[in-house]
Amino acid sequence: MRSKRQLEAAILLEIEHAKQHRKGREDSFVELKRQFPDDKRKAARQIAAICNAARGEDVLWIVGIDESTGQIHTPESTDIQDWWPGVAKYFEDVRPDMTHLVVSVDEGAVVGLLLETDRAPYVVRTDGRGQAQLEVPWRDGSTTRSIRRRELMRLLAPTAEIPEIEFLSAGATAEYYIDSDPVIRLTFHAKVFVDLSNAVTFPRHRQRAIIQSATGEPFVLNIDFAPFPQTRDIPAVHIETPTTVNFYAMTTYSGTPEETIGWAEDLGRSEELRLDMEISISGAERTVPWTARLDSRTGEEEKPAAMDRSWRIATWSIGT
């Protein structure tokens, strides 16, 4: 089960992606809704479907993001107690455990629903128009349908075991430079040792990380397996024996010139950064979270008096 901070980090990742690409990102574990659906029976069926297909991994429903445009639309009500009980009543016997969190950004507020899926299969009541009174729904791409036998067999099969993961080191470097406007570039690296008895796969698109100063803006990182500036074409890492795995990220941030300068100055004052990272393994029931303080600061340059030239702010690290 993710902490509230980890849930907030995951929601911020989806918001940032939607803003950058002007389109929401949905996959087998993330569903975006502009508003809370009025049809609660249909919502229960959709939730049961994505939770069944997740096979034990957490599912994130985010209400307040338009999937087609990426725009933020604050729900008419952010009180989940006005909506969730009407959805939950359509589940037969067991429903997914749910944690919710309201996250506010400049454009508005969204509501994140973190759904635990470790008690699948989830069964919902139908509308009673046909002979079947109950259904096991399944998510297939972006559609919802009844589960097939082979999918039910897969759902009931054991999921992948979580290997022992030891975090060895992590570091981040922040740079300020002038393009047409001021920009902050943040590069990141982490190394972990994976001790396993069975082969595992780390899918790139499911890895999560966020870095934040004590008082500043959270920097959301899109994780890769190749260091910047190498071509990022490694969709996953598959390992069969104990070994180390490296994670990399490079991201740029810019707002108004005043905002970007403010972020740079905040980083310049920061003696340490907080790292929240989640490592995801294909077929596993949960992610592996890690929270650390990057408290060894080196390599800083003197701040430009007028902030009119490039500035290597600093490097923060932990481990060896």
Residues 88 and 181 grouped into a single domain: no
- Domain closes at, from 99, 122, 156: 156
Q: How many domains does the chain have?
A: 2
Residues 289 and 253 grouped into a single domain: yes
Residue 232: the pLDDT is 65
Residues 181 and 68 grouped into a single domain: no
DSSP the chain: ---HHHHHHHHHHHHHHHHHHTS---BTTEEEESS--S-HHHHHHHHHHHHHHHTTS-EEEEESB-TTT--B---S---GGGTHHHHHTTBSS---EEEEEEEEETTEEEEEEEEE-TTPPP-EE--SSSS--EE-EEEETTEEEEPPHHHHHHHHSPPBPPPEEEEEEEEEEEEEEESSSEEEEEEEEEEEEEE-SS-EEEEGGG-EEEEE-SSS-EEEEEEESS-TTS-----EEEESSSEEEEEEEEEEE--SHHHHHHHHHHHHH-S-EEEEEEE--TTBSS-EEEEEEE-EEE---PPPSSS-S-EEEEEEEEE-
Q: Which domain holds residue 101?
A: 4-156
Residue 93: the pLDDT is 92
Residues 190 and 171 grouped into a single domain: yes
Residues 71 and 93 grouped into a single domain: yes
- Domain closes at, from 156, 184, 216: 156
Residue 205: the pLDDT is 86
Residue 1: the pLDDT is 60
Residue 195: the pLDDT is 92
Residues 152 and 199 grouped into a single domain: no
Residue 81: the pLDDT is 87
Residues 43 and 17 grouped into a single domain: yes
Per-10-residue mean pLDDT for the chain, 320 residues long? 80 87 85 94 96 88 94 89 93 95 93 93 88 91 91 80 89 91 92 91 90 84 81 83 93 88 91 91 81 90 88 88
Residues 39 and 146 grouped into a single domain: yes
Residues 112 and 173 grouped into a single domain: no
Residues 128 and 228 grouped into a single domain: no
- Domain closes at, from 132, 156, 180: 156
